[in-house]
Chain A
Amino acid sequence: MSAVGVVVFPGANCDHDAYHVMKHVLGREARFLWHKETRLAGIDRVILPGGFSYGDYLRCGAIARFSPIMGAVAEFAEAGGPVLGICNGFQTLCEAGLLPGALARNASLKFICQDVRVRVETDASALTGGVARGTVLRIPIAHAEGSYTFDEAGLEALERGGQVLLRYCDAQGEITEAANPNGSRHGIAGVRNAAGNVVGLMPHPERASEAMLGNEDGRVLLEAFARA
């Protein structure tokens, strides 16, 4: 039976959360993938979880992207396999060039750990399939380097290509300066690749997928990914 693969880098700390939601909340077969593995046998989708891989040395995700498993992840992504990067996983996918742009230091210089609201900008991706555009979700962020950065030409291409997945917004779904927690360009909280099978976001849907935790807003995204 094919499974969701959750990559474990040294320093990952949300790997068990992602595994738990896939396996125990959504009822999918799930398996941890140690970063030294080089094959993805029996894996039908991959999650790069949050955390502090390799201590965030040099840049967040810069060292993880050269982990042995990342060659197999890149091949899997190029073949159209669904790949999701959450927080540090998003940073790693950007460093690897599997997603466009980069995540820089928060404008406030603070590590921000709080619930934010994000608006779904496209339903054409492995994370938002079947989720209506304009849906507002309340999901926590927890990062110091989450300010989405890209040059003007890159941002324009993203917007034109519908590659912005999620944007920080207020409770009414309006994109405002005040609702942008970290200085991200265009309020971007998540993006997809051109094909839509590789997706990344700074918020943590795996921390908001169960009623017991007081918030289930993230579940709709992980459900979409589980069936992508």
Chain B
Amino acid sequence: MAVLARVYVTLKPGVLDPQGKAIRSSLATLGFADVADVRLGKYLEVTLGESDPAKARAAVEAMCQKLLANPVIESYRVELP
């Protein structure tokens, strides 16, 4: 039974995010004046054949560490059902 892992990759605090800044400024132009900050990240859906939750989590964590996130500038969060 396939399992869907949701992976969120975000820039670490303090890392410059010019895209987030541009989005924030565009929102301000549209009248959303209350937006204090926007940070842009990545969202990945990884479908696994592994149905054991602990094994699935371990596999996706390993994927994040090796490839899906760059630990120098990014953090990640994994959600499994």
Contacts and interface: CB of A to CB of B under 8 A. Distances in A.
Interface of A: 58-59, 62-63, 66, 94-95, 101-102, 104-109, 147, 149-151, 154, 183
Contact of A95 (B19, B22, B70): B70
B18 interface: yes
Given A58-B68, A59-B70, A105 B15 contact: no
22 contacts: A58-B67, A58-B68, A59-B70, A62-B67, A63-B67, A94-B72, A95-B70, A101-B72, A102-B70, A102-B72, A102-B73, A104-B16, A106-B18, A107-B18, A108-B18, A109-B22, A147-B16, A149-B72, A149-B73, A151-B12, A151-B72, A154-B72
Contact of B16 (A58, A59, A94, A149): A149
Interface string B17-58: 011001000000000000000000000000000000000000
Contacts of A102: 70, 72-73
A95 B69 CA distance: 10
B18 A109 contact: yes
B67 A66 contact: yes
Contacts, number: 37
Contacts of B18: 105-109, 183
B70 A62 contact: yes
B72 A150 contact: yes
Contacts of A108: 18
A146 to B, nearest CB: 12
B56 to A, nearest CB: 21
Contacts of A66: 67
A147 B15 CA distance: 11
Contacts of A62: 67, 70
A151 B70 contact: no
A107 B22 CA distance: 10
A104 B40 CA distance: 13
B14 interface: yes
A94 B70 CA distance: 10
B44 to A, nearest CB: 9
Contacts of B22: 109
A109 B15 CA distance: 15
A63 B68 CA distance: 10
Contacts of B73: 102, 104, 149
Nearest to B15: A149
Contacts of A154: 72
Report, nearest first, the 10 A-B pairs whose CB atoms are least far apart. Answer: A102-B72, A102-B73, A109-B18, A107-B18, A149-B73, A102-B70, A105-B18, A59-B70, A149-B15, A109-B22
